[in-house]
Amino acid sequence: MPSSVLIIGAGAAGLMAARELSARGHAVTILEARNRAGGRMHTIQTPSFSLPVETGAEFVHGKLPVTLQLLQEAHISYTPVEGRMIEVQGGHWHRQEHFVEGWDTLMERLQELQQDMTVQQFLETHFSGARYEALRRSVQRFAEGYDGADISKASTLALRSEWEKEEEEQYHIPGGYEQLTDFLVAQCVRQRCQLQLNTPIKHIRWQERCVEAVAEDGRTFTADKVIITIPLGVWQQENAKSSIAITPAIDPQMEAFRQIGFSAVIKISLEFKQPFWQEYEKELGFIFSEEIFPTWWTQHPHPAPLLTGWINGPQAASFTQAGPQKMQQYALYSLAGIFGLPLVFLEQQLVAAQVTDWGADPYTLGAYSYDMLPSQEARQLLQQPVANTLYFAGEALYTGAHPGTVEAALTNGKEVANRLMQQQ
């Protein structure tokens, strides 16, 4: 028999779960804290930028079945990511074939690994000594910069299964991820889901097959079951403005949420008058450097004069209180170092800037998940509903080869909706 379901959070996981459930006649109400759907998919379109700017998710990291199928269904175009990768060290530019220097050697050792250990332990065991200094630096930079992982905690086996897929082609969505959000919202609404924006949930009271969610302004919503899709950062900071009290308490699950790693990201988009970088490298794609903003990318092959800078992992967390003005300054210093250009030139060239600090975003409190050594076990517990009434979903609960992505959130949202329907 169809049931009534509350879904907390209108990100990729929540919208996907809502779409599945409502397609099969369940009465779904989505409760979202923000004034928009999409969560960590957030495209902004302003006249100061010549292209839509992604403040959150930007790439499709490979031939990802659920994402690509949805994009095709929605007739949303996507294009391969192109361009050269450059490493800049001590003012010298080197072309790089892979994200990690010595990738083949690294993958060989990773294949031989039987027992899990942290990435730091793995590097100390298999790549010690001066000979491997560049490889160690490059692995650390990739694990931190790409996965947001703290290498003293991150699981090597989990990163191995992800990195094996890294050589796949990646895609950009020129019109922005926002189109995917709009498509999912339109489908949910057509299937009679109620979408309540501006509804931060503060409290969930529950007993078997009966849930009451209380919003910040006192409104209450009731249903047979609830799927909670709030980000890991919100679960982990129990006293945050966005955190949700659950009565009766679910202590083992709360502890399990703490066993999964969650990164922080500061992302900056800078539009300039001219794509001055083309004088250095005509087909510039990605830059990896040792600057405060170490990672940058262009829109190549699109000629837009837009550069995106990225700080991830422990370093991003240390800048979370700096504020947008300061971060914009750090970004320009970083570019001055990379290109050997005067700061004043970059300031004169700058047309528009957008800084997004996801660690400071109250409804995310971080960026995306990574596995620590106990994460798999924790995730097994969180995949089980509590009394067939409380269900958990979101990118952090996905088990597959593309963690921390929109694909992970969409897949997990779909799986959790199906599990709920089987457990009527």
Ligand X SMILES: Cc1cc2nc3c(=O)[nH]c(=O)nc-3n(C[C@H](O)[C@H](O)[C@H](O)COP(=O)(O)OP(=O)(O)OC[C@H]3O[C@@H](n4cnc5c(N)ncnc54)[C@H](O)[C@@H]3O)c2cc1C
Binding site for ligand X (CB under 6 A): 8-14, 31-34, 39-41, 56-59, 61, 200-201, 229-231, 234, 242, 244, 265, 267, 358, 363-364, 367-368, 394-395, 404-409
Is 41 within 8 Å of 180 (Cβ atoms)?
yes
Nearer to ligand X, 31 or 86 (CB): 31
Nearer to ligand X, 13 or 154 (CB): 13
Parallel/antiparallel/unpaired status of strands 43-44 and 79-80: unpaired
Nearer to ligand X, 125 or 247 (CB): 247
**DSSP assignments along 135-192, one per residue:** HHHHHHHHHHHTT---TTTBBHHHHHHHHTTTTS--EE-TT-THHHHHHHHHHHHHTT
- Supply the minimum distance, in Å, between the C-beta of residue 191 and ligand X: 18
**Which is nearest to 408 in space by CA: 377, 378, 371?**
371
- Supply the minimum distance, in Å, between the C-beta of residue 118 and ligand X: 23
DSSP annotation of 398 reads -
- Supply the minimum distance, in Å, between the C-beta of residue 368 and ligand X: 4
Nearer to ligand X, 275 or 394 (CB): 394
| Cβ-based neighbour number of residue 190 at 10 Å | 11
Q: Please tell me whether residue 296 adopts helix, strand or coil conformation.
A: strand
- Supply the minimum distance, in Å, between the C-beta of residue 383 and ligand X: 14
What φ, ψ does residue 47 adopt, rounded to 5°? -60, -25
Nearer to ligand X, 123 or 382 (CB): 382
Nearer to ligand X, 126 or 379 (CB): 379
**Which is nearest to 223 in space by CA: 237, 233, 212?**
212
Nearer to ligand X, 57 or 123 (CB): 57
Q: Which amino acid is at 163?
A: W
What φ, ψ does residue 329 adopt, rounded to 5°? -60, -45
Total number of residues shown for the chain: 424
Nearer to ligand X, 123 or 234 (CB): 234
- Supply the minimum distance, in Å, between the C-beta of residue 152 and ligand X: 22
Nearer to ligand X, 242 or 349 (CB): 242
Nearer to ligand X, 57 or 306 (CB): 57
Q: Please tell me whether residue 88 adopts helix, strand or coil conformation.
A: strand
Across-strand partners of 96?
Answer: 85
- Supply the minimum distance, in Å, between the C-beta of residue 108 and ligand X: 28
Cα 306 to chain centroid distance, Å, stands at 21
Cα 257 to chain centroid distance, Å, stands at 17
- Supply the minimum distance, in Å, between the C-beta of residue 200 and ligand X: 4
Q: CA 363 to CA 218: how far, in whole Å?
A: 19
H or E stretch covering 51: none
Show the DSSP H helices in 196-250 as ranges: 232-236
- Supply the minimum distance, in Å, between the C-beta of residue 355 and ligand X: 11
Q: Tokens standing for 319? A: 């800048």
Cis peptide before 301 (omega within 30 of 0): yes
- Supply the minimum distance, in Å, between the C-beta of residue 150 and ligand X: 16
Contacts of 261 (CB under 8 A, 6+ apart): 148, 149, 150, 153, 154, 369, 370, 371, 372, 375
Q: Which amino acid is at 171?
A: Y
Query: What torsion do the CA atoms of 183, 26, 222, 415 make, to the nearest 10 degrees?
Result: -70
- Supply the minimum distance, in Å, between the C-beta of residue 300 and ligand X: 16
- Supply the minimum distance, in Å, between the C-beta of residue 63 and ligand X: 13
Nearer to ligand X, 57 or 327 (CB): 57
